[in-house]
Amino acid sequence: MAVLAGLAPALAAPLTSPVLAQATDAATTPGADFSNDNGWIVLLKAVGIIVFLLVSVLIAIWFERKVVARMQIRPGPNVHGPFGLLQSLADAMKLLLKEDINVKAADKVVYIVAPMISVFCSLLTFAVIPLGPEVSIFGIVTPLQLTDFPVAVLYILAATSVGVYGIVLGGWASGSTYPLLGAVRSTAQVISYELAMGLSLVSVFVLAGSMSTSQIVESQTQVWWFLPLLPAFVIYFISMVGEVNRLPFDLPEAEGELVSGFMTEYSSMKFAWFFLAEYINMLNVSAVATTLFFGGWRAPWPLSAINDGMFNEGWWPVLWFLAKLWLFMFVFVWIRGTLLRFRYDQFMKFGWKVLIPAALVWIVAVAGVQGVRQFTDVDLRTLLIGLAVVAVVGIGLSFLIPERRGQAEAAAGGEPEPFDAFAAGYPVPPLPGQVLPPSPRRLRAQAQGAQASGATATIEGSPRVTDDEQTDDQVADGEEGMPRG
């Protein structure tokens, strides 16, 4: 994160030059003004954020069940309350009243503190998210934002990074194998995908000229950044799914491999805290995507052009912000109901060999375009068309390059060597390119099938051999009972 802190202002420097002053008027707009806030207003905002997040989690759980049920042609929750709206509340009460079991082999202090770390860090992000412009609250004009500062986005990345310690410590302190494996997976996952996420945000800093969330929203008056920065938005979106451990990137809690991963040994409210942190983090990354790429609280076109932007004033922007936020939440649920879980090696390869290099290339491209615009008179449209042509040609040529893996297998003259899964004394799954030897059960089945075929041929009067004439090599090859030429 320190690298991003030093890199982003340096890349954003060309935007403040006189040559680009007219193109970046929005970037120089002052941020939110909190000079009128007093202690009661700050307390009211803080309590409002916490209540909003807790209620949103209850709605998100019901929403996810309903959407997935509709995708699978099922009714979903429909008993507790109208449309099943009280089902989430019933589940919360169940977790609250369940017996709290502590693992005997666990490190007691860390085991209890770990869920608290995850929840506490998840509650920090919305402190710098602007929910709307300035409004009047009890006669005091204040922005719909708790606070803001010049490096607000780096604060968000820092809070999410510290939140992972709750998962890591919870898995380690449980004193069990599966939670420990889930904690290790989570560590590797966050390192991989947070790098791609941070790099994808640098191009936003370059165009907005600031890392303040309120100023980034102000810089999107004319165009939302997801349009000119579409590759960065795609990288951020993929990374945010991996950041919150959701399908298809839920490897730290894969029930098919690790029972429940880092949460296996947790029950009652400690499990509920991890569950709460996951859904709050979904809201957090959706809010960051809305703020940095989708115009924040600004109304979509053409509503933003009606009556000099009347829908961007007062309490209307809160509605637009919530609509965009829940659009991303719907995509989260849609992905869960559609895609399968990645294999772990595929997951890590995708992060390190695809997302991070793509993010680096995009940063260089954006910085290069800004540099050309600053020192030359090249038209931006011509420059973008030229870059698009180069990208299309490069992608087309990449399809003509043969796969190295196929060439290596062809040079080896056949299939790869069999892999001994028990060489280390315990079963190990094969990696890509490794093949397990055929099982003894399959060999026996093949031998029995061959023997049955030989008996059938004997009945039909074809040449046959006796058991005494069969050799050991034939039996080993599964050829017993086959007629000799």
Instruction: Specify if 265 maps to a domain.
Output: yes
Across the chain, mean pLDDT equals: 78
Span 49-71, average pLDDT: 92
Specify whether 453 is located in the same domain as 341.
no
Q: Which residue among 348, 375, 406 closes a domain?
A: 348
Looking at residue 297, its pLDDT comes to 87
What domain count does the chain have?
2
Instruction: Specify if 235 maps to a domain.
Output: yes
Tens of pLDDT, residues 450-474: 888 776 655 555 444 444 444 444 4
Specify whether 330 is located in the same domain as 454.
no
Looking at residue 309, its pLDDT comes to 64
The CA–CA distances, whole Å, from 287 to 33, 168, 217, 281, 290 equal: 21, 25, 12, 10, 5
Within 13 A of 398's CA, how many CA atoms are on the CB side?
Answer: 6
* Confidence check: pLDDT of 90 > 50: yes
Instruction: Specify if 395 maps to a domain.
Output: no
Instruction: Specify if 376 maps to a domain.
Output: no
Q: Which residue among 348, 380, 409 closes a domain?
A: 348
- Mention every residue, 6+ apart, whose C-beta is less than 8 A from residue 325: 283, 286, 287, 290
Looking at residue 308, its pLDDT comes to 61
* Confidence check: pLDDT of 6 > 90: no
Looking at residue 44, its pLDDT comes to 92
Tens of pLDDT, residues 222-280: 888 888 888 899 999 998 888 888 878 887 777 767 777 787 888 888 888 888 888 99
Tens of pLDDT, residues 164-186: 888 888 888 888 888 888 888 88
Q: What's the rounded Cα separation, in Å, for the pair 294 and 322? A: 12
Specify whether 90 is located in the same domain as 225.
yes
Residue that wins the pLDDT comparison between 441 and 151: 151
Specify whether 444 is located in the same domain as 344.
no
Instruction: Specify if 51 maps to a domain.
Output: yes
Q: Which residue among 320, 348, 376 closes a domain?
A: 348
Q: What is the dihedral of CA 82, 85, 86, 88, to 10 degrees?
A: 160
Residue 454 lies in domain = 440-476
At 26, the pLDDT band (50, 70, 90 cuts) reads: very low
Q: Tell me how many degrees the CA angle 188-191-195 measures, rounded to the nearest 5.
A: 145
